[in-house]
Structure 1
Amino acid sequence: MPATVMWFRRDLRLADNPALVAAVEAARADDAEVVGLYVLDDALWSAAGANRLAYLVDSLAALDAACGGRLVLRRGDPRSVVPDVARAVGAREVHAAASHEPRGRRRDEAVRAVLAERDAELVETGSAYAVSPGRLRTGGGTPYRVFTPFRQAWLDHGWRAPAHRPREIPWAALRSEDPPRATPTAERLPRAGEDAARRRWHAFLREGLAGYDEARDRPDLAGTSAMSVHLRWGEVHPRTLLADLAAADAPGSDVASYRSELAWREFHADVLHHRPGARTESLRDVVPDDAWATGPAADAAFEAWAAGRTGYPLVDAGMRQLRATGWMHNRVRMVVASFLVKDLHLHWRRGAAHFMAHLVDADVSQNQLNWQWVAGTGYDAAPYFRVFNPVTQARKFDPEGDYVRRWVPELRGVAGRAVHEPWRLDAAPAGYPDRMVDHAHERRVALDDFSRARG
């Protein structure tokens, strides 16, 4: 029996998956079966962090179960694997959601060309975003560089309703390879899969959406949805979240705040679509090249930051949360990033690479451009002279120190807000390091560097 190929990538789900709907409709029109294919790309497998790989294996297992055990895994270069599978099953079409990250676009063009040589077609339907990157333009026809007008254009443009989940998908039985083994560095990872994503989201709608606008900045509270992991792997589509938000019984300010976070995610995807070099290159130069610390001392400082041993409790708590769970609260991400760039004077690329190696939700556009936002080098970024004070941030967003005490056991015996400034205690907590730098001094250094660049 002939078949149509559904090539899963960043859409590891069956619900609200327009590419899957298109594949099923094409198969039914030809009285064919659907080959559900996922290609374990060797290049990505060798470069991705262990936490992401372990999570991916779990997510693929969940998708395989949803497909009745008929998800086809193949390992190799998609540029050859996908056309070979299509030829083997006599497929005239390979269906997939459009990719917008630089590497994905190059891969898909190569696959498209090989398929065309074999009288087959790559059919792209939908994307990982409510509004596909590249679709919105300013009145002058240029890409957006500022978030607020982008968000308004995004809201004005709107998005389609969620796609229905196909019934009785005629999955083809085809040889599948065993998934590779992946051992995470984190002690515990979020539960993977489409069902886990929907459970987490519905729990947040019931218990977390009301009050989200204020609670989302509090790492000591369960104030965020933690849906970034599921969005990154496409276990849920943002369009589904937006539809549920529109129907939610919650204050308008909370709904608008959450919707704005989704818009921010799509803004960064749009920026990378137009400026693929932003993955590794600063969009703006804000300090002289000699402002970045290098050499053995800089390497030692980076290692202390990565290990959560800077002597600044909020920074250390965030870095230890990352190591333990493969995730970090967004407010804390900003604080630890600012500390690396503006207190330790290390280039944002070093921090971005560390996050990519350890975060389960690591996504090129979100990770790289959020780092550029903190560093002041991106579009609509925080100005370089905005330097997060790790103590002030801790007092404001972890007022009783509960977050710090959870992740920094050496400080669990310190009561109240004193936990944020252990160097002021009469006796230093056993095992906890002294401050590696003086924030006030390093802030002045960062501002002087900024002034030199402007001059």
Structure 2
Amino acid sequence: MAEGARSAVVWFRRDLRVGDQPTFLAAADAADRALALFVLDPALVTPSGGARLTFLYRALRSLDESLGGRLLVVRGDPADVVPRVAAAVDAASVHVAADFGPYGRRRDEAVAKGLADAGRELVRTGSPYAVAPGRVRKDDGQPFRVFTPFRRAWLEHGWREPAETSADTVDWLDPSGGDGGPRAVPIPDDEPVDAELPGASEAAALRQWRAFLSDAVERYGDDRNRPDVEGTSRMSVYLKYGLVHPRTLLADVARQRGRSSEVYRSEIAWRDFYADVLFHRPDSARENYDKAFDALPPASGDDAVAAFDRWREGRTGFPIVDAGMRQLREQAWMHNRVRMITASFLVKDLHLPWWWGARHFMGMLVDGDLASNQHGWQWTAGTGTDAAPYFRVFNPVTQGLRFDPDGDYVRRFVPELRGVPGRAVHTPWELPDGPPTGYPEPMVDHKVERQEALERYERVKAARR
């Protein structure tokens, strides 16, 4: 680097793209050249499932290629390695998109302190959300607890337009000559994963989005709850890793007309809402948001573990539940309607803790996002903010008949039932000879377990008196 030139660091986290990057603009304003950095943080890598890690590694390879091979990857605690990298290139500032998760906030405060001790600055520009958590509040300054008024305020708040950036927006330092800081590591090899994963690149994200806009968006309002058709955008994994920003999706959807575009906008609002809930209540990642539900006794013991294992394996005897759990294993993804059905079955038919299921999903889902996953589970369990009432218990048979009316989704993921025609696939125990060979009888009587769930709920009502 030329004598007297100013340098900066751009630290990538959940923004693995070169387009629409406010951090690039901030770094270009602050310095003549910048170092592109990604930190393999053991605190995040260790608990991640194989699908998420493989997708991450592939996305990093794609980002490195977009940057002309100039992405520095290091391993370690960011509170230690980021200040050392900044010192190695004499960077006055480190630029990031703000993180609002419980761990991310603690990590960034530690990094900011380490940088400040050396006279450097952590500069936060933008976030992974259309509207950053904490920005949308009620008139009295309190956070929203219910989605519908949050959505109204969120729409009124608005969001910035996508930024015009590319890899050439910043003059990137070449780390190959040695930065003098933490040792660079190669991007790890893929984890052994049987699931079929989507393409992990910014280009793949934009291709998927364009395909949705050209074909499915007009039917989204009607088809999004149908797991038997390609009715969703499949953008959740790309939003998770920041291969596309939600404001890009919102800008494109705004040019569409009709109910479906409004419904899609609401889904982006749900993502921001759950991030906002977690921001204000970080304990809700692991505990009931509604503390009255602490009085609800979950099943426990060996029988509970055995029931959980059957649920995980997709061997419950309820076809729509089993199809969802097997889709999760085969694709590291599950249709959102089926996520609700499988979650309701675990919590209200098997009476198991929602956090057992949430933990399993986070370990399996390629799009596993802490805020959306945990609060989606709490919505179904009835324990969260804006939750479905606890007494609303999804009937897995009627849900299957309504949202997979011809049984195509079940037959795709449950091979034992592929010979069962039409709607009969949802009630194989009613066939003249019972379920086909290899497929189990229902593990519970839904009517009985629904009544049991309602009786257990009486303890929650008593706790509120």
2:456 to 446, 449, 453: 449
Amino acid aligned to 2:406: E
In the other structure, the counterpart of 1:4 is 8
What is the CA–CA distance in structure 2 between the aligned matches of 1:327 and 1:186, rounded to whole Å?
A: 12
1:56 — aligned with what?
Answer: 56
Larger mean Cα displacement after TM superposition, 253-262 or 46-55? 46-55
CA contact (8 A) 2:295 2:459 kept: no
Query: Separation in 2 of the partners of 1:270 and 1:24?
Result: 30
For structure 2, list consecutive stretches of 5 or more residues without a partner in the other structure.
177-183
**Structure 1 residue aligned with 2:405, among 391, 399, 403?**
399
Match of 2:203 among 184, 191, 195: 195
Q: Which residue of 2 aligns with 1:420?
A: 426
Amino acid in structure 1 at the alignment position of 2:139:
G
Indicate the residue corresponding to 1:172 in structure 2: 173
> Match for residue 17 of structure 1?
21
Q: Deviations over 1:49-85 (max 9, x none)?
A: 1110011001101111111111110011111111000
Counterpart code for 2:355: R
2: CA distance between counterparts of 1:288 and 1:83? 42
Q: TM-score, normalised by structure 2?
A: 0.95
Partner of 2:312: 306
2:368 corresponds to which of 362, 376, 394: 362
Deviation at 1:34, TM superposition (A): 1.4
- SS of residue matched to 1:291: coil
Shift of the alpha carbon at 1:186?
A: 3.6
Judged with a 3 Å threshold, the aligned counterparts in structure 2 of structure 1 residues 288 and 14 are, in CA distance, closer, same or farther, namely closer
> Structure 2 CA distance, aligned partners of 1:63 and 1:290?
47
Matched AA of 1:97: A
What's the offset of the Cα at 1:46? 1.1
| Structure 2 partner of 1:387 | 393
Match of 2:379 in 1: 373
Worse overlay, 237-246 or 169-178: 169-178
Shift of 1:391: 0.4
8 Å contact kept, 2:311–2:322: yes
Maintained 8 Å contact 1:115/1:121 = yes
Q: Distance in 1 between matches of 2:190 and 2:306?
A: 29
Of 167-176 and 233-242, more deviation after overlay is shown by 167-176
Give the residue type in structure 1 aligned to 2:340.
M
Q: What is the CA distance between 1:168 and its match in structure 2?
A: 4.9
User: What's the RMSD between the two structures over aligned residues?
Assistant: 1.1
Answering whether residue 286 of structure 2 is matched by residue 280 of structure 1, we say yes
Residue number in structure 1 paired with 2:122: 122
C-alpha distance in 2, partners of 1:426/1:286? 46
Percentage of identical aligned residues: 56
* Equivalent residue number for residue 447 of structure 2: 440
Q: Shift of the alpha carbon at 1:25?
A: 2.5
Q: Which runs of 5+ in 1 are unaligned?
A: none
Which amino acid in 2 is paired with 1:217?
N
Listed as ranges, the matches of 1:82-231 within 5 Å are: 82-166=82-166, 167-175=168-176, 176-231=184-239
Alignment check: 8 A CA contact 1:230 1:236 kept: yes
The one-letter amino acid of 1:8's match is: F
How far the C-alpha of 1:165 sits from its partner, in A, is 1.0
Cα drift, residue 246 of structure 1: 1.1
How far 1:275 sits from its partner (Å)? 0.4
CA distance in 1, matches of 2:171, 2:271: 35
Instruction: Tell me which residue corresponds to 1:255.
Output: 261
Aligned residues of 1:186 and 1:326 also touching (Cα < 8 A): no
1:222/1:95 CA distance change after superposition, 3 Å? same
SS of the equivalent of 1:254 reads: helix
User: For residue 113 of structure 1, what is the amino acid of its counterpart?
Assistant: K
| 1:330-349 to 2 correspondences below 5 Å | 330-349=336-355
User: Does the 8 Å contact 1:129/1:238 carry over to 2?
Assistant: yes
Aligned equivalents of 2:12, 2:280: Cα separation in 1: 24
The offset of 1:439, in angstroms, is 0.6
For residue 433 of structure 1, report the CA deviation from its aligned partner.
Answer: 1.0
Partners of 2:340 and 2:61 in 1: CA distance: 33
Aligned equivalents of 1:62, 1:106: Cα separation in 2? 29
Map Cα deviations across residues 130-178 of structure 1 (whole Å, 9 max, x no partner). 1100011101211000100000000001011111114353111114421
- Report the alpha carbon displacement of residue 287 of structure 1 after superposing the two structures with TM: 4.7
Could you tell me whether the CA contact under 8 Å between 1:20 and 1:96 is conserved in 2? no
Distance in 2 (CA, whole Å) between partners of 1:184 and 1:333 is 25
Q: Structure 1 counterpart of 2:311, which letter? A: W
Pairwise CA distance, 1:289: 4.2
Look up the equivalent residue of 2:85 and give its one-letter code. V
Matched residue count: 449
Counterpart contact for 1:288–1:452, Cα < 8 Å: no
**What is the rounded CA distance, in whole Å, between the counterparts of 1:419 and 1:374 in structure 2?**
25
> Which residue pairs with 2:245 in the alignment?
237
2 CA distance for matches of 1:148 and 1:173?
A: 48
Q: State the alpha-carbon separation in 2 of the partners of residues 227 and 286 from structure 1.
A: 35
What SS does structure 1 have at the residue aligned with 2:175? coil
Q: Deviations along 1:191-230, whole A, 9 cap, x unmatched?
A: 1111100000011000010111000000000000010000
Separation of aligned partners in 1, 2:313 and 2:191: 19
Rounded to whole Å, the distance in 1 between the matches of 2:350 and 2:236 is 28
**Counterpart amino acid of 1:111?**
V
CA contact (8 A) 2:51 2:195 kept: no
C-alpha separation in 1, matches of 2:102 and 2:169: 35
Measured in 2, the distance between the counterparts of 1:191 and 1:67 equals: 18
Post-superposition offset of 1:47: 1.1
TM-score by length of 1: 0.97
